[in-house]
Chains A and B, each alone.
Chain A
Amino acid sequence: MSVATSQIKLTPERSRPSVRSRLQDALPKIVLAPSFAITIVFVYGFILWTIYLSFTNSKTFPSYVITGPRAYQRLWGWTFDSDPPSSWYTSIVNMGIFGFLYIAICLALGLFLAILLDQKIRGEGVLRPIYLYPMALSFIVTGVAWKWFLDPGLGLEQTLHQWGWTSFHFDWIKNKDFVIYTVVIAGVWQASGFIMAMFLAGLRGIDGEIMKAAQIDGATTFQLYRRIVIPLLRPIFLSAFIVLAHLAIKSYDLVVALTSGGPGGSAWLPSNFMYEYTFKRNEMAVGSASAVIMLMTIVAIIVPYLYSELREKPR
């Protein structure tokens, strides 16, 4: 969600130096303070805690004795273990594949559907919730259906075989090299409708006058969209990117519900790695270190965006 800034700054009109009015002046800050304090403690405090733990030798439980960066050294070593792939290597490579395809396809599909839906479609009221509803369901619910659908012995492949198309072959979910793409399919299914809604809102917000002017100049529909509409939607691309990036990084139950980790752990994402090491393997230091690396990656992506968006623009 992009962030605009307004240029008018409000100051209370009458400022007498009485206690009462000083309180009035401070009221906005007092109102904001609890939320801010909560964020400081429960987000930044916990981040510090995680960073601290990553330098200890915490195993099943947190240990508070600093023992050095061994967890990072191990992760660093695993980063280059590509043959056979270490779980960490698999996780980060998958994150690259999944992150790129998931975000790109959701953006493209979302925009495409929004444009189609914006052509004065009869039954838009029916179609919109159909595209949007997957976002409403948890993957504990839909994972079962997807797993079933993608299973070659039970789902699509078998169904098409029964219908007579016996040469049809679709076993990605069972294949270590392709399983991550099934995660992409299910992920796109879940989020693209939401992105569509964002783009649709954006399209509806575009000033009709600009369009009319372009048409008078003789632009074709395609040119119209490429040259005028899509550039105007730039802020929405950014907002959608942020939404998708945060969903991609947090995708955990998607992988678990759909693939239980994939053949030989080949569907892992970093969040799966972190959960496995923290809670299942009792290597909390390694789990924490991977969480720190994830957070740093997020910072690297988000902070430049926030900076460019929130900077007070001189007007």
Chain B
Amino acid sequence: MLRKLLIGTALATTFAFSAHAEDVKEVQMLHWWTSGGEAAALNVLKGDLAKEGYAWKDVPVAGGGGDAAMTALKAMVAAGNYPTASQMLGYTVLDYAAAGVMGDLTETAKKEGWDKSVPAALQKFSVYDGKWVAAPVNVHSVNWLWINKAVMDKIGGAEPKTFDDFVALLDKAKAAGVIPLALGGQNWQEATMFDSVVLSTGGPEFYKKAFNDLDDASLKSDTMKKSFDNLAKLVTYVDPNFSGRDWNLATAMVIKGDALVQVMGDWAKGEFHAANKTPGTDFLCYRFPGTDGSVIYNSDMFGMFNVPDDRKAAQVALATATLSKSFQSAFNVVKGSVPARTDVPDTDFDACGKKGIADLKAANDGGTLFGSLAQGYGAPPAVANAYKDVVSKFVHGQIKTSDEAVTELVKAIDDAK
């Protein structure tokens, strides 16, 4: 039985689909972008490929922010039926690359000059062992505030520059009878907000040490404790029904003016965009107070699998189209993110998008571009999820004090490492 399984897995890579001879003019794409805006964005890519004569075989599996899709991917890989490409995040790409199931796009990368145009921080995940294994689609940035302008004017608030400013602003909203902070009480949302809190409380150096290098001393430090205290402070401004709320419902609260502000990645802008809201007049985008100049990022990537030779041409076409400047611009305008290459003109982007592009460039040059731990770009999934557990338990009261939170964080991360 076991032997059979072992042999099955080994054979999967060597002898899958060796029967076909002529090129397959089709890309098979696993993804979880099923909502209107995302699907529209992806349709741009489908159209680009159709022009080159490639059909698009869609494998959409929505749910759990890609969890269901990743399970399906694992099953496909176990069966030896690799898709041409799959939407993937951060360390997952590296895991699959280490397992030897990813393809090699180095030639295409050289021809297209990806090495120069894609930020080094992204290449950490799209290049494995010197080989390009994934095509980054976008760069999302996590440390943003999204504010309803009408509410902001009503309470007479101004852009908060420090954490204390931010608290003062939230107090103003509270006094005016508006829900100050819109939050969805799911662990990834809470942890995403905490990413920003830690960057704000400890500064760029501290964030990198604690959440990218997993340095024990930093995780244990008083700064981390202070960060948890600050998080606890923010949670007091949340409405009582926040637990379990989806992130886009929290964004809708800000759009409708029920709440003042949401701390969320720039995918929230896609929601404002879909509701026909304009930055500057309807809503405001500020960096999380005290994090200006730094960018906490995550990125959607199309992992490219080691498909048989007859499907490689289609894969190269897909990768090339993905990183073409026109697609990068068109896609990211809709999605709310910024292009994964730094040489794409920002003409089509709105004010927030332009700021995002400029910030990314500055952070990339200045060495303050950090992977988001909550989004799986700071550490492998085991650690990231252990982190999310602790933050969420702290927010919901299973962990009662910041002292305890720090102890638990260190323990959980050590355990998962």
Contacts and interface: CB of A to CB of B under 8 A. Distances in A.
Contacts of B5: 49, 62
A175 B395 CA distance: 12
Contacts of A262: 244
B19 interface: no
Q: Is the interface of B mostly helix, strand, loop or mixed?
A: helix
Interface in B400-417: 400, 404, 408, 415-416
21 contacts: A59-B95, A60-B74, A61-B74, A61-B95, A84-B393, A85-B393, A87-B389, A152-B240, A152-B241, A153-B241, A173-B243, A174-B240, A174-B243, A174-B244, A176-B396, A256-B64, A263-B396, A264-B396, A266-B398, A281-B381, A281-B416
B74 A279 contact: yes
Interface string B81-104: 000000000001001100100000
B349 to A, nearest CB: 33
B12 to A, nearest CB: 11
A259 interface: yes
Contact of B99 (A48, A60, A152): A60
Interface in A69-92: 74, 84-85, 87
Interface of B: 1-2, 5-6, 9, 64, 67, 70-71, 74, 77, 92, 95-96, 99, 185-187, 240-244, 380-382, 385-386, 389, 392-393, 395-400, 404, 408, 415-416
Interface string A36-79: 00000100010011001000000111101000000000100000
A61 B381 contact: no
A84 B241 contact: no
Given A280-B381, A282-B381, A264 B96 contact: no
Contacts of B396: 176, 263-264, 266
A62 B64 CA distance: 23
B389 A60 contact: no
B389 A263 contact: no
Which of A64, A264, A281, A283 is the most central at the interface, judged by chain B CB atoms within 10 Å of its CB? Answer: A264
Size class of the A contact interface (CB-based, 8 Å):
35 or more
Given A259-B244, A264-B187, A59 B398 contact: no
Contact of B389 (A64, A151, A260, A265): A265
Interface in A276-304: 276, 279-283
A153 B382 CA distance: 34
B393 A264 contact: yes
Contact of B67 (A59, A74, A152, A280): A280
A171 interface: yes
A202 interface: no
Contact of A283 (B240, B382, B399): B382
B398 A260 contact: no
Contact of B241 (A171, A260, A276, A280): A171
Given A265-B392, A282-B380, A282-B381, A52 B244 contact: no
Nearest to B383: A281
Given A41-B1, A261-B187, A59 B244 contact: no
A61 B99 contact: yes
Contacts of B415: 74
A62 B67 CA distance: 18
Closest A-B pairs by Cβ, 7 of them: A264-B396, A263-B396, A174-B243, A45-B1, A60-B95, A263-B243, A264-B393
Nearest to A158: B241
B398 A264 contact: yes
Given A48-B1, A74-B415, A282-B382, A151 B241 contact: yes
A79 to B, nearest CB: 14
Contacts of A61: 74, 77, 95, 99
A179 to B, nearest CB: 8
Contacts of B74: 60-61, 279
Given A49-B5, A276-B385, A260 B186 contact: yes
Given A49-B5, A85-B398, A176-B397, A264 B392 contact: yes
Interface string A156-182: 000000000000000101111000000
A280 B95 CA distance: 12
A90 to B, nearest CB: 8
Given A259-B244, A260-B186, A281-B385, A265 B380 contact: no
Contacts of A260: 64, 186, 244
Nearest to A258: B244
B385 A48 contact: no
Given A48-B2, A61-B99, A84 B399 contact: yes
Nearest to B5: A49
B96 A60 contact: yes
Contacts of A48: 1-2
Nearest to B98: A60
A283 B389 CA distance: 15
A241 to B, nearest CB: 31
B241 A281 contact: no
A152 B239 CA distance: 12
B71 to A, nearest CB: 5
Interface string A228-270: 0000000000000000000000000000100111111110000
Contacts of A276: 385
A101 B35 CA distance: 38
Contacts of B242: 174
A84 B402 CA distance: 12
Given A260-B186, A279-B71, A64 B385 contact: no
B408 A263 contact: no
Nearest to A87: B389
A84 B408 contact: yes
Contacts of A283: 382, 416
Nearest to A85: B398
Contacts of A87: 389
A281 B389 CA distance: 12
